Amino acid sequence: MPPVPFSLWSPALPSGPRTLLALACLVLLAGCQSLGYYAHVAGGHARLLGERRPIEEVLADPATPAARREQLQAIVEARRFATQDLQLPANASYLRFVDLDRPFVTWAVFAAPEFSVQPLLHCFPIVGCVAYRGYFDESRAQALARELQSQGLQTWVGGVGAYSTLGWFDDPLLSTMLDGGVDAAVSTMFHELVHQKLFVRDDTAFNESLAVFVEREGMRQWRRQQGWPEPDPGAQARSREFTLRVLALRDALDRLYRSGLDEQRMRLAREQQVNAFRADYRRLRQTPGWRDDARYDRWVASGINNASLLPFGLYDQWVDAFAQLFDDADRDWGAFYTAVESLAALTPEARAAALSALMARQSARTSSNSTSNTSEAPGGIRLPAPLAP
């Protein structure tokens, strides 16, 4: 059996980015360190598979709390919608439930050099190279972080709430997916089912941007079908604003590291940049809309370093390009996926060029509407209406 790539969702990562983890058969591996890691991942996944219960069984169990039963019923309906309306895979994924006794299912370790915002890569068969390594045991993740720190690298460890085997197994619904509410669980399910439908090796930005677009558009359509209001545009606008600010900090540090300054001066300048970012965030939290939005407080207060900046921007680089492609397909999911498959078949260079062209068209359309059709997103962030999620 070939190695199995994973896609994971992390509520602990700001903006809800996803990461990748690889699982492989032990017979394909060489080296004690690799063998131990893959054995850990394989064992962790096997334990989860053994704990699965059909959702229908959980719903019928008198011991199931009413609130949990209501959540699971919504998941059943959303899973049906994903297949029938969004044309996502019709398989047994997310039809079984695992109630975990911990806040996260896995922990992801990110690392980067002290004077670079480029990640330390970990390469696996099939999935390719990714910027993190995941563990089912937090102590193992922390041990790797300490080992990497001893080598002079900066590290960051984030808890992960859900993962997908990209269709290799029937993935269960996890209690950690429901910790953020039904919307969080449904959007995560949509996202991971997209990875099961299509996955391009060594192109995280393509894979994640596609999944994020389908997730967001799918949530709009699903909530509309349920007769519920659309997802809060203010929360998504604030998430976008925060991500842009973090990316600006990362770009500033990248320029600093390339400046040729000596290490002592770079460390001082980095500290000043991070302190300025925190001060700017404190001011932002005092503006309307942001006063009640504490999602990013913990991350900002933590030890911001090159590694903690890595997850940002990896998951929404091409989202607007896919939005344009969806419009080009007359908002028909079948035609959209056909167009996506054509993009996936291109060389990496040609694919990036095509996505850039789609982005430019989307941006031009947005700009043409911005002078006459803007919306004030909650929180005082002005976005052109077509961009407001």
Which of these, 143, 177, 165, 142, lies nearest to 71 by C-alpha position?
177
Given a cut of 90, whether residue 145 has pLDDT beyond it is yes
Rg (CA), the chain: 21
Which strand (E) or helix (H) includes residue 149? helix 138-150
Residue spans of the domains in the chain: they are 4-226
Cβ contact 293:237 at 8 Å: no
Residue 294 or residue 32, greater confidence: 294
Mean pLDDT of 238-266: 96
> Would you place residue 202 in the very low, low, confident or very high pLDDT band (cuts 50, 70, 90)?
confident
Residue 126, pLDDT score: 65
Residue 124 or residue 206, greater confidence: 206
Given a cut of 60, whether residue 127 has pLDDT beyond it is yes
Given a cut of 70, whether residue 389 has pLDDT beyond it is no
Which amino acid appears at position 223 of this protein?
A: R
Which of these, 213, 202, 212, 199, lies nearest to 348 by C-alpha position?
202
Residue 36, pLDDT score: 85
Given a cut of 90, whether residue 254 has pLDDT beyond it is yes
**What average pLDDT does the structure give for the chain?**
86
Distance CA 165, CA 389 (A): 28
Mean pLDDT of 200-207: 89
Q: What is the pLDDT of residues 300-358, one digit of tens each?
A: 998 999 999 998 877 788 999 999 999 999 999 999 999 999 999 999 999 999 999 99
Which of these, 260, 373, 253, lies nearest to 309 by C-alpha position?
253
Distance CA 354, CA 343 (A): 8
Instruction: Quote the pTM value.
Output: 0.83
Q: What is the pLDDT of residues 256-284, one digit of tens each?
A: 999 999 999 999 999 999 999 999 999 99
Tell me the two tokens of residue 317: 């680089």
Residue 33, pLDDT score: 53
Q: What is the pLDDT of residues 34-58, one digit of tens each?
A: 778 888 988 999 999 999 999 999 9
Q: How many CB atoms lie within 10 A of CB 229?
A: 8
Residue 204, pLDDT score: 84
